[in-house]
Amino acid sequence: MTVVKVFQAAGDFAENKDIARQLRTEQLMPALDRGEKVLIDFANVSLSTQSFIHALISDALRKHGAGILDRLQFKGCNPPVQALIATVCDYMQDSTHAEEMKVGERAASKAKSKR
C-alpha cells in the first residue's frame, strides 16, 4: 500500500494546490494506475480547502470512477477535513452522472431526429 503524507508536504493548513497537484501526479495516480491501494494520511493537518482536496483526489474519481474509493483510504482526518473529502467525493459522482445524462440526452435527441 502506498501512503501519501499530506502534512509533510503541505503543512498544518493544506491549501497549496501546487503541492496537491504534485502529490497527485507523483504519488497518488501512479500508485492507483498500478492497481495498488492508497492511504492518504492527513494526520496533523488542522484544516484544508475544497480546492486542495479537489486538486488531490478528483482526477482519481474521474479517471477510475467511484469504485476507486474501494482502493483509497483517508487517515487522520479531523471533522472539517472529513467534510471536505466527503463533499468532493459526492460532487465528483454528481459530475459523472451529469455527463451520463448529457450523453443520454444527446443520444435521445439523435434518435428522435432520425425518426
Task: Give residues in contact with another protein (CB under 8 A).
Answer: 11, 13, 15-18, 21, 24, 39, 46-47, 49-51, 54-55, 58-59, 62, 66-67, 69-70, 72-75, 77, 79-80, 82-99, 101
Choose between 109 and 114: whose C-beta lies nearer to another protein.
109
Give the nearest distance from C-beta 61 to another protein in angstroms.
9
One-letter-per-residue 3-state SS of 22-61: HHHHHHHHHHHHCCCCEEEECCCCCEECHHHHHHHHHHHH
Give the nearest distance from C-beta 54 to another protein in angstroms.
4
Choose between 16 and 44: whose C-beta lies nearer to another protein.
16
**44-78 exposure pattern, b = at least 16 Cβ within 10 A, e = fewer:** ebeebbeebbbbbbbbbbeebeeebbebbebeebe
Q: At what angle do helices 50-64 and 79-114 cross, to 10 degrees?
A: 40
Choose between 26 and 90: whose C-beta lies nearer to another protein.
90
Give the nearest distance from C-beta 23 to another protein in angstroms.
12
